[in-house]
């Protein structure tokens, strides 16, 4: 089924806060940062996670990256970690974790993902955490639960599913989701979200203004922020893609990824129940 642009299928499951909601009830999202010179992607994802409603967002960073991040983060919390086991220990209280944006194409990323798979959090696996498993995709799939989300663009998809790479997205994504036994959001001019149980959504809000560096990091943060609020992962990925595209469409020419998180509130205001809309 394809989500209609006027009344998205996921809207009735969107995690709007109640009058007595507190920050911990709105979910805890973690984002794993790259090294000293690779912190921007984590900042984009973390800010997007806050804007979509996660009550608490924390960036876990290698110690050398902490001074850079500390100067750039405000509402987002920051915590250093020393190796994969330490990361997993610190992240055990999180509801969702984004790993991959500028994480590095090395075994450290593999070790971190392996350790985080034991936390029970919903994993949003993006960018480097996908590409580093080229030629050993089954090792990645063995770490995933059915509520985890893979977010490949066409190139990353081909590294994990080379035999499916030439298929149309609406054919490739469901087969990939079944194989990985996880939700797959396949990015492109026609973004397709597929769940391992056969559900499929073709996002109707795609726009070429999203063809800019960092937009995928924002999308990963939106998915993580919704999953942290306990929205079903397929619905969370579908909602995130819709909101991401709508925010970009409203901005239009000149969009850069830093613009996207701050456009989210206006999109949400248009979707919110009347009692939650600004006066």
What letter does residue 177 receive in the DSSP assignment? H
Query: Can you tell me the mean pLDDT for 28-46?
Result: 97
Q: Which residues pair with 125 in a beta bridge?
A: 99, 150
pLDDT for the residue numbered 7: 74
- Band of residue 6 on the pLDDT scale cut at 50, 70, 90: low
Closest C-alpha to 32, from 54, 55, 94: 94
Taking the CA atoms of the chain, what radius of gyration do you get in angstroms? 17
- The domain made up of 23-272 has a fold known as 3.40.1190
Q: Which stretches does DSSP call E strand in 73-227?
A: 77-80, 96-99, 122-125, 149-150, 183-186, 192-194, 200-202
Model confidence over 207-237: pLDDT tens digits? Answer: 999 999 999 999 999 999 999 999 999 999 9
pLDDT score, position 24: 84
User: Which pLDDT tens digit goes with each residue over 67-118?
Assistant: 999 999 999 999 999 999 999 999 999 999 999 999 999 999 999 999 999 9
The CA-based angle 185-210-61, given to 5 degrees, is 70
> How far is the CA of 87 from the CAs of 79, 111, 151, 200, in angstroms?
10, 10, 22, 33
Return the domain boundaries, the chain.
23-272
pTM for this one?
A: 0.96
Query: Among residues 244, 261, 225, which one has the least CA distance to residue 96?
Result: 225
Which pLDDT belongs to residue 1? Answer: 30
Distance separating alpha carbons of residues 29 and 242, to the nearest angstrom? 20
Contacts of 1 (CB under 8 A, 6+ apart): 9, 199, 200, 201
Region 130-134: what's the mean pLDDT?
98
CB under 8 Å to 11, separation ≥6 — which residues?
A: 239, 271
Query: Which parts of 48-161 are beta strand (E)?
Result: 56-61, 77-80, 96-99, 122-125, 149-150
Mean pLDDT over all residues of the chain? 95
Share of the chain above pLDDT 90, in %: 91
pLDDT tier for residue 23 given thresholds of 50, 70 and 90:
confident
Residue 111 vs residue 19, higher pLDDT: 111
- Of 200, 267, 231, the closest CA to residue 1 belongs to 200
């Amino acid at each position: 089924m394809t989500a209609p642009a006027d009344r998205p299928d996921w809207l009735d499951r969107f995690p709007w806060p109640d009058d007595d909601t507190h920050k911990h009830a709105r979910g805890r999202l973690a984002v794993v940062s790259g090294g000293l010179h690779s912190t921007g992607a984590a900042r984009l994802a973390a800010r997007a996670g806050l804007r979509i409603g996660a009550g608490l967002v924390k960036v876990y960073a290698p110690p050398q990256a902490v001074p850079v991040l500390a100067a750039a983060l405000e509402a987002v919390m920051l915590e250093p970690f020393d190796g994969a086991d330490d990361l997993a220990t610190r992240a055990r209280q999180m509801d969702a974790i984004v790993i991959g944006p500028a994480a590095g194409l090395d075994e450290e990323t593999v070790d971190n993902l392996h350790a985080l798979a034991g936390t029970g959090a919903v994993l949003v696996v993006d960018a480097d955490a996908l590409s580093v498993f080229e030629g050993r995709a089954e090792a990645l799939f063995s770490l995933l639960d059915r509520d985890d989300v893979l977010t490949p663009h066409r190139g990353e998809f081909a590294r994990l599913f080379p035999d499916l790479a030439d298929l149309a997205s609406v054919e490739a994504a469901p087969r990939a989701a079944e194989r990985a036994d996880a939700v797959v959001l396949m990015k492109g001019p026609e973004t397709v979200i597929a769940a391992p149980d056969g559900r499929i959504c073709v996002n109707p809000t795609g726009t070429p203004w999203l063809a800019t560096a960092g937009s995928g990091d924002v999308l990963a943060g939106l998915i993580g922020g919704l999953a942290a609020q306990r929205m079903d992962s397929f619905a969370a990925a579908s909602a995130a893609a819709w909101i991401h595209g709508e925010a970009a469409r409203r901005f239009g020419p000149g969009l850069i990824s830093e613009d996207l998180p701050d456009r989210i509130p206006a999109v949400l205001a248009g979707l919110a129940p009347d009692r939650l809309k600004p006066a």
